[in-house]
Structure 1
């Protein structure tokens, strides 16, 4: 499944794996939310509530599309967060892994706290 994430200064697409969380997210697309930033991570509420999956991780690669179950939010890290050790992308807590951004995740640096974010399915 491919999604498009748009904000006032840009957009990225992401390719998502077929996981229980991805299926739950698909049911609410398109969605609009308000962006939050935390270090070099963008996250936003989805209105979806799911359980933590067995392969959830806290330290991920830049550009990982993660789902933060504690906040019902998509988490999009592109660099260090306030709790990172060195240059790693350390999320607030273990998150479900959904897939990866297509293209340069550093484009997320143009997202500002409070920006409107839209997530929609990309037509196959």
Structure 2
């Protein structure tokens, strides 16, 4: 399953694992509009979707991971270190459900500013 995430300065696509309960719940909520927030080199935003933490949730992930922060009902898109990272790792605020990854250069997320409008939509196959 592919999604497009757009903001005033650009957009990216991401490929998600359609078999996870969190991805299925998110897909039902699309398209959605939200407001971006940043935390170090991570963009996150509220989705209005509430799900439980999955058994394979992780806190340290690769740059470009599409994660779902269950504590904040938010998508989390890390592209570099956060304020709690050790070294260059992407350390999320708490363990998050892993949905997939950004296609291409996750560094494009650096153009997102806190307060930017964000839109997430399903890319039809």
| TM-score of Structure 1 vs Structure 2, range by shorter chain | over 0.9
Which residue matches 1:24?
A: 25
Q: How does 1:30-69 map to 2 (within 5 A)?
A: 30-69=31-70
Q: Which runs of 4+ in 1 moved over 3 A?
A: none
- By how many angstroms is 1:123 displaced? 1.1
- By how many angstroms is 1:40 displaced? 0.1
Which residue matches 2:8?
A: 8
TM-score (norm 2): 0.99
- By how many angstroms is 1:76 displaced? 0.1
SS in 2 for 1:25: helix
- By how many angstroms is 1:109 displaced? 0.1
Alignment RMSD, CA only? 0.3
SS in 2 for 1:97: strand
**What is the alpha-carbon distance in structure 2 between the residues aligned to residue 21 and residue 116 of structure 1?**
23
**What is the alpha-carbon distance in structure 2 between the residues aligned to residue 52 and residue 66 of structure 1?**
11
Residues 19-55 of structure 1 deviation map (CA, whole Å, 9 limit, x = unaligned): 0000000001000000000000000000000000000
**What is the alpha-carbon distance in structure 1 between the residues aligned to residue 21 and residue 56 of structure 2?**
12
TM-score (norm 1): 1.00
Structure 1 stretches of 5 or more lacking a match?
none
Which residue matches 1:94?
A: 95
Structure 2 stretches of 5 or more lacking a match?
none
Residues 91-113 of structure 1 deviation map (CA, whole Å, 9 limit, x = unaligned): 00000000000010000000000
**What is the alpha-carbon distance in structure 1 between the residues aligned to residue 32 and residue 110 of structure 2?**
21
Which residue matches 2:116?
A: 115
- Is residue 2:76 matched to residue 1:75? yes
**What is the alpha-carbon distance in structure 1 between the residues aligned to residue 8 and residue 124 of structure 2?**
21
